[in-house]
Structure 1
């Protein structure tokens, strides 16, 4: 980030010199606080491409706070306790019959991090692709590498609004922001996202091999080569294919991903955070701090845990004093807080080896390949100190086991895995509401801004 600021300073100095030399020929200033798209859409410099890449990485993490707090509340992995604004409890938990509408708290105007932020990243990726394709200042392999990276991020981001509104569908065609395409159904959207990810992978293959030709943040350490980015692309594709119920496609994508059955379960690309002028890790809370705004472990997660599970020991910190917030449906008491982060500058992974191994188990189970599924399950169980699986080998029993392991392995990650998992297996009624008297949502409507936009364009 410091280097970025230095580079920006250089551009300002150069721009000032150009204006001084030729004061009568000035570009039209469309926004004095931000460069126009036109300034990078034709023959962008390598430095401008670099700025766009860094900007895309920043946009890429824009969903984390909202999705982590909200979706994990919907799936009752956590409670986001906030004594200053009871709507984080009453509305997000669906207390007293509250159900999502187009102006729902936290989502109604723009969709928050579940809608607006992903589309901002998607559009940033569009700008990056256009800039790379329309410049002679970088070589063809570099253009392909940039396009492949952008479309990989784009595919990931499209999955966020798709899973937020689910059956209500999303816009895939947003190339022209003044004339976006129609909403397409969930299954069609997933197929379109698959095509974007495949385009990204193909572009990366065209880019050749070796290092990615531009600088990525430390979030991509270990993946900042062409091959490494292809592995990230295929890992994201494996997650997508599970939603598409393309189980053989899951396994094929995993074979080309960074999945390592004997490797570090935490390995994977991440969203980096840092001190000012960067932003801090939004999921970090000081241990045992005297606060009344905090993410706490949902009581059902603690109640359903297997004794001796190392994930419970490592991820959950029992507080010296519980955090209690009173709502109109009663008091919510958080006894444990998130212990995953050592500091407020620690990176947050957005897809990990542990998830990939569980996706392998799930794909094999759905293909009735019990031995392979159990082998993958045992990797996760033994890492958690639980020993080998000794249950039934039927498909239903294995899916039960896999969903249970996903619940603890992927607890409160910035994706809302349990909410999505329960929905895709028709098990939303298994998410408990007895602790908060709330409701489990299936999906959200389009934010009001989307309908307002259609009405505006129609006029």
Structure 2
């Protein structure tokens, strides 16, 4: 069984433990030295609920490293150059005709942030909800608040495997880890996620006003009331509705979110990081570090940039030390710029921001042929970037192209793979350049082999 870091241990080992071979399986062994699910199923204390909730926050960030490195490579926002293991280049870039298979490098179910980690967070949310229902020390309002928070995180996490395997579908019925449901289509999964988020929104409403009844980490500073958590829930729902192409639904969700057209573009909840016993920001790299492994800026981001764009100046650091270089079968890859977003290795990483919400507003208006509103939202982003108001064509196609371009620079390398998903949902994967690395742009991934092995095991 995987050893959990100390931070996760305090929060999670009080509640659950995962079998490495099956991320949905909970340890049912009753052990007073390592309390299991049974110890919190009936009449959990407030302290135990707090442990579970902090554990859920920790689980919630489990995808960040893998997706920041891999999905942003697929969309050619970055290269994750790794001088020690060539598979980060050959496999992830699809060089020499490499295509995804069930044993694709870097995505095993025991550690892959695109598959195992989200489902572990989902199960953590389920355990938290169940424990709160049986906790006699909690009021009905407390239970609703806890359930609303858990379902908000649960909905977010379900979107990760759904967007990884795309049309291959995911399991949404995972209540019984020994008998999970069948795979459902991408569209069915998104509709299910909507119900999860909507239920969470209703729970937070039923919890009433006031502060959230338990302590959240600093990642939720400014969002630690029931009303503010409802806004986070609706922000996530807005992203989901864009994937569902429910454009009015996007606008409705945004109206109830924390979107602020004149506010700080970076405002939003975040994944916190810290020194031991916590873990450091996994995508922080010392500027000008002389290393052979680093996330670097993809050359197309520099080539396609608008002159004097403040996002380029602020986010992309031009190295004065030697560039990061890695030799591959398709030639040498050279990284001249690195990530400049993180001042320290303990800085939090936002998981949804006001800037994304404003761009979602622009996208929804454009798809609804509400041209003036779309341009107004676009100009908020352009003016903040110092590149002036939009003066191009105002056809739907032209506005969508402009919005996708602005999303490339506003949401660059965020832990979601926005450009890869955006290009796929608009049929523009062929516009992502491969000339710099001789690779391939993937559309989706098959289910991991261990997931298929589980089905074979159950079938026998």
Query: TM-score scaled by structure 1?
Result: 0.94
- Distance (Å, rounded) in 2 between the aligned partners of 1:353 and 1:309: 19
Deviation per CA, 1:217-262: give whole Å up to 9, x if none. Answer: 0000000000000000000000000000000000000000000000
Rounded Cα–Cα distance in structure 1 between residues aligned with 2:48 and 2:311: 43
Which residues in structure 2 correspond to 1:89-168 (within 5 Å)?
Answer: 89-110=89-110, 112-168=112-168
* Match in the other structure for 2:345: 344
Equivalent-residue separation in structure 2 for 1:416 and 1:33 (angstroms): 40
Residue 54 of structure 2 corresponds to which residue in structure 1? Answer: 54
CA distance in 1, matches of 2:89, 2:9: 43
Match of 1:14 in 2: none
Q: 1:208 deviation in Å?
A: 0.4
Residue pair 1:80, 1:88 contacting (<8 A) in 2 also: yes
1:302-339 deviation line (CA, Å, top 9, x unaligned):
00000000000000000012110001111000000000
Q: Distance in 1 between matches of 2:8 and 2:352?
A: 29
1-side partners of 2:262 and 2:307: how far apart? 24
| Secondary structure of the structure 2 residue equivalent to 1:107 | coil
Deviation at 1:35, TM superposition (A): 2.2
User: Secondary structure, in 3 states, of the residue corresponding to 2:421?
Assistant: helix
Check whether the contact 1:101–1:108 (CA below 8 A) recurs between aligned residues.
no
CA distances 1:145-201 after superposition (whole Å, capped 9, x unpaired): 000000000000000000000000000010110110110000000000000000000
8 Å Cα contact 1:111/1:447 also seen in 2: no
The change in CA–CA distance for 1:276 and 1:72 in structure 2 (over 3 A counts) is same
Deviation for aligned residue 1:109: 4.9
Equivalent residue, structure 1, for 2:262: 262
Distance apart, 1:135 and its partner CA: 1.6
Is this contact kept in 1: 2:8–2:58, CA < 8 A? no
Counterpart secondary structure, 1:79: strand
Q: What are the ranges of 5 or more consecutive residues in structure 1 without an aligned counterpart?
A: 12-27
Cα RMSD, aligned residues only: 1.6
Larger Rg: 1
1:366 paired with 2:367, answer yes
CA deviation digits over 1:36-72, x for unaligned, max 9?
Answer: 1011011100000000000000000000000000000
| Consecutive aligned runs of 4 or more in structure 1 exceeding 2 Å deviation | 3-8, 28-35, 108-111
Alpha-carbon distance in 2 for matches of 1:6, 1:57 = 13
- Is residue 101–residue 445 contact of structure 1 (8 Å, CA) maintained in 2? yes
Contact 2:8 2:55 in 1 (8 A): no
Give how far 1:111 is off.
6.9
How far residue 134 of structure 1 moved from its aligned partner, in angstroms, is 1.4
Query: Partners in 2 of 1:72 and 1:6 — Cα distance?
Result: 30
Distance 1:334 1:202 in 2: 47
1:125 Cα offset (Å)? 0.2
- What is the aligned partner in structure 2 of residue 403 from structure 1? 404
Q: How many residue pairs are counted as aligned between the two chains?
A: 439
Aligned pairs for 1:139-218 (under 5 A) are 139-218=139-218
